[in-house]
Amino acid sequence: MTLHETPPRIDPPASRLVLLTGPSGAGRSTALRALEDVGFEAIDNMPISLVPRLVAQTLERPLALVLDPRNRDFSVDALLALVGELAASPRFELDLVYLDCPVPTLIRRYSETRRRHPLSPEGTARQGIELEARLLQPVRLRADVLIETAEMTPHDLRARMQELFALQSDGAMTVQVESFSYRRGIPAGVDLVFDCRFLNNPHWQPNLRALDGRDPHVARFVMGDPRFDGFYRRVRDLVESLLPEFAQEGKVQLTIGFGCTGGQHRSVATAEKLANALAQAGWQVSKRHRELERMAAQAAVTTQT
């Protein structure tokens, strides 16, 4: 470049912007808190008319906004127009996230909480839910990310949001090892799934039935199956060979699932063993046992009532 040439313009990096919407009761608040936990500035029930003024200033942090029909200035046309403008701007890396849930599930959730639906304060929850579903259908079709939350616990949803939007500070991939019951389906967002149902089942041992796979007696029974060592060794070797490849591709979180019939014994024991081995190998590992969490939550509710 000569002295008379104009230096090339260097545009600042695009700001991360996530817009959250979907029907009431589908998990918007949980998703927003999950984004706040990973470093986003989070604003709930944001009026659409104020968004342009908010994003006109320099964003110091990634921004997450919930835009939904609770607000008096909400309209589908206005939301879609806003999404179009933001998506066309080089200033933003935009994701429109739609949290969805079937109408019957939303009706059940409202009946459990006894809340009034914001679109039907004087009518039934069903009327408001069905109206909202019809109203938001064009937004659902436009969404960049669609998350079905019917079978998700709040923990599931937080984990999914973290996987999609976590802000890496040290570049290290985290690994979650999870156990589950096939009766309740494979958890959302699991990357690798292994079936433990062929192993001998502690459920049929009266002295082990009430325990879970974290108990050493259950673990010894599961690992005493002659088929266990070969199965576990092949799984561990596969996972250890794949983790560096996923990390190199920039994956934020990898979730490994082990399933069995009830999600209490075989899958728990195997998940515990692999999680401990990966942690000893230097990976950032977290453990989660979905069915044990459900059992603990149900027991807590029973105790309170």
Q: Domain extents for the chain?
A: 15-165, 174-304
Rounded to whole angstroms, the Cα distance separating 213 from 222 reads 8
User: Which architecture, in CATH terms, is 15-165?
Assistant: 3-Layer(aba) Sandwich (3.40)
The pTM (predicted TM-score) of the whole model is: 0.60
Say what the pLDDT of residue 1 is: 46
Q: Order across the sheet with 145-148: list the strands.
A: 41-43, 63-66, 15-21, 92-100, 145-148
For residue 302 the two structure tokens come to 């029973």
Contacts of residue 1, defined as CB under 8 A and 6 or more positions apart, other chains included, come to 7
- CB-CB neighbours of 77 under 10 Å: 9
Q: In terms of Cα–Cα distance, which of 30, 111, 251 is closest to 243?
A: 251
For residue 120 the two structure tokens come to 């039907």
User: Hunting for tokens 């046309």 — which residue is that?
Assistant: 77
Say what the pLDDT of residue 210 is: 95
- pLDDT by 10s per residue, the chain, length 305: 454 555 554 455 678 899 999 988 899 999 999 898 888 999 998 999 999 999 998 888 899 999 988 877 889 999 999 999 999 998 998 999 999 988 888 888 776 666 677 776 666 777 888 888 888 999 999 998 888 888 888 888 888 888 788 765 455 788 989 999 999 888 877 899 999 999 999 999 999 999 999 999 999 999 999 999 999 999 999 999 999 999 888 777 789 999 999 999 999 999 999 999 999 999 989 888 989 988 887 776 555 55
Q: Which helix (H) or strand (E) holds 94?
A: strand 92-100
CA 303 centroid distance within chain = 29
